[in-house]
Amino acid sequence: MENMDNNINQETRRIPTPPSLEDAGNPVPPAPEGAENAAPLTADDAANPVPPTPEDAGDAAPADGEHKPKRHRRSRRIKNSGCAGTVVYVIAVLGISIILSLTAIFIANDVFAFVKDNAVKEITVTENTDLISMADQLDREGIISYGTIFKFYVRLKGDNQGVLAGSYELNPNMDYGQIIDSLVNMSSTETTTITIPEGYNIAQIKQVLLDEHVCTEDALDEELNTYAFKHDFLQSELPAEQGWLEGYLFPDTYEIYKGNSTVRNTINTMLNNFDDKYDEEIQAGAEALGRSMHDIVTIASLIEREAQADSERATIAGVIYNRLNNPGEFPYLQVDASVLYGLGRTGGTLSEQDLQSDSPYNLYNHEGLPPGPICNPGYASLYAAAHPEEHNYYYYVAMPDGTHLFANSYDEHQANIATSDAAQAQAAAEAAAAENAADAAPAEGGGE
């Protein structure tokens, strides 16, 4: 019975209590979420209700007849498009990275020749070509794949050298450094014969070598102007600079190898030849005169450029020494050939303006010898410089045939100048008449 009562009580608890009549007339609205924790409404609160905030107003229910705004929710489509954009971005970055990596690999392979074809190709280089101007040709011939990169490589190294005209065998499996070395340091078994005339200066010797395609101008300039050759007689001429070898490249006929790598050997051969030709007789003469090798070579260069007849070399040497030994009366040598050298010329008539130039080679206003040789003299002039003729001449003037009239006084010299001028005028008139006669003569086989 007791258990039955307990069961009845439990069932009774499950049955909700019916609302009273008062509650039915005034139904209580369901409490808002969280209302169980809210403080009870007092009489004062009821009398003074708190106005709604803008946020509350926005959330307030619309009045009857008003359009109820829709709550904006983030669309699932927008979320999906955001994910798709991220994927596209990642793919684009990866694609660009792959392209750049492959490009870098191909360029590096071209520069360093990691994996390239092995096929010897012969290319022909024309005159006045340098490394940068060859880039496109190397690209066309298949030696390299990127001409623009080759140009950048050469500029980056600052080594845009000239390339000697001729044929070259190159291989695509060469890296850029090997290609450049093959082009600018070509060694050859081909020889050529060159002749350096007596009295040529370095600029003229240089042109002979270039005309014979022995080497490039860049390679020649580097050896002539910067390399310190080890010959004992050159040690007083150091440091190496432009023109420092003037006078010591002995004029002769040489058989030499072609190629930039052989330029030093070619110059060395000329210097060795000078060393041999400056023999004991010349050394003894220089010692007797109290003159250094530099002085002897300088005087010999003046003789070489002034004398045309071998018989007059020692006589002209005597005039030079007479003036050098009497600086009070003859402070200036007044050698025209030296003035021309200072002006960068090898011939022609000197004007009054030329004779007033401030070059140290102008021996009309600079006392004593010029700073150095003005050409590369031959043996006869070297010997004459060391063994001058003894006489009392202080002047000479040239005749049309290349010989000279010598004088020991100024008055005699003026008379010789008048004789020379008359002879020069007559020679010029005869040459003009001969030219006119040649022009007037009918062509061979002509006539009616």
Q: What is the pLDDT of residues 294-330, one digit of tens each?
A: 999 999 999 999 999 999 999 999 999 999 999 999 9
Confirm whether 250 is domain-assigned: yes
Check residue 311 and give its pLDDT: 96
Co-location of 299 and 378 in the same domain: yes
Interval 233-255 mean pLDDT: 94
Q: How many CB atoms lie within 10 A of CB 222?
A: 16
Check residue 69 and give its pLDDT: 56
Check residue 187 and give its pLDDT: 59
Average pLDDT, the chain: 83
Compute the distance between CA of residue 63 and CA of residue 76 in angstroms, rounded to an integer: 31
Share of the chain above pLDDT 70, in %: 77
Interval 203-231 mean pLDDT: 93
Co-location of 297 and 246 in the same domain: no
Number of domains the chain contains:
3
- For residue 239, whether the previous peptide bond is cis, meaning omega lies within 30 degrees of 0, is yes
Model confidence at 56: pLDDT above 90: no
Could you give the angle at the alpha carbon of 110 between the alpha carbons of 104 and 115, nearest 5°? 100
- C-beta separation of 367 from 273 below 8 A: no
Domain boundary among 391, 417, 440: 391
Class of residue 331 by CB neighbours under 10 A (exposed 0-12, middle 13-18, buried 19+): middle
- C-beta separation of 164 from 259 below 8 A: yes
Question: pLDDT band for position 64 (50/70/90)?
Answer: low
Domain encompassing residue 380:
292-391
Interval 332-354 mean pLDDT: 95
CA 413 to chain centre: 53
**Closest to 419 (Cα-Cα) out of 399, 396, 393, 394:** 399
Structure tokens at 357: 């130039």
Compute the distance between CA of residue 289 and CA of residue 403 in angstroms, rounded to an integer: 26
List Cα–Cα distances, 213 to 28, 194, 269, in angstroms.
117, 11, 18
Phi-psi region of 153 (alpha: psi -120 to 50; beta: other; left: phi over 0): alpha
Model confidence at 102: pLDDT above 90: no
Task: CATH number of the domain at 174, please.
Answer: 3.30.1490.480
Question: pLDDT band for position 446 (50/70/90)?
Answer: very low
Q: How many CB atoms lie within 10 A of CB 317?
A: 24
Co-location of 167 and 196 in the same domain: no
Helix 76-112 to helix 176-184 angle (10° resolution) is 30
Co-location of 219 and 273 in the same domain: yes
Lowest mean pLDDT among 6-10, 404-408, 437-441: 6-10
Co-location of 268 and 248 in the same domain: yes
Domain boundary among 184, 204, 236: 184
For residues 238 and 309, which has the higher predicted lDDT (pLDDT)? 309
**Closest to 387 (Cα-Cα) out of 277, 274, 261, 300:** 300
Model confidence at 100: pLDDT above 80: no
Model confidence at 32: pLDDT above 60: no
Question: pLDDT band for position 213 (50/70/90)?
Answer: confident
Q: What is the pTM of this model?
A: 0.66
Lowest mean pLDDT among 178-182, 204-208, 225-229: 178-182
Class of residue 400 by CB neighbours under 10 A (exposed 0-12, middle 13-18, buried 19+): middle
